Amino acid sequence: MEEPREYLDPAYQDLMAALQQSRRRLADLATARKRFEHRLGQLHNAKDSAAAQLERARAAGDVEQADAHSGALMGFQAQIDAVDAEWRASVALEGPAKREAARLEALAEEHRHG
């Protein structure tokens, strides 16, 4: 008859591999979230700049430039909306990934001490 330890070691190794994969997934999600946040910051700055240029063009009575900056504002807002949706999706995935990593960590602790 095989010893129980022979069964635990492969099970523990599988658990550690799953935990490592879970941690990588969580790190990938956090990295993606940070990239989205950085991109959103860039887009908001560009939108603010376009809004300021629009106001200057309107104040100067330059309709052509005002129209161009108005179009740029709409384009930046569309990009912001798209990146924001991706950011929200990424954030929504982080919670379950954190819980899964914590669950696997707890199981690993049980294997180590139990």
Summarised one tens digit per residue, pLDDT across range 17-63 is 999 999 999 999 999 999 999 999 999 999 999 999 999 999 999 99
For residues 19 and 108, the answer to whether their CB atoms sit within 8 Å is yes
- pLDDT tens digits, 80-106: 999 999 999 999 999 999 999 999 999
Q: How much is the pTM?
A: 0.79
pLDDT of residue 3: 56
Q: How confident is the model at residue 64 (pLDDT cuts 50, 70, 90)?
A: very high
The pLDDT assigned to 5 comes to 56
Domain ranges of the chain: 4-113
Backbone φ and ψ for 3, nearest 5 degrees, come out as -75, 150
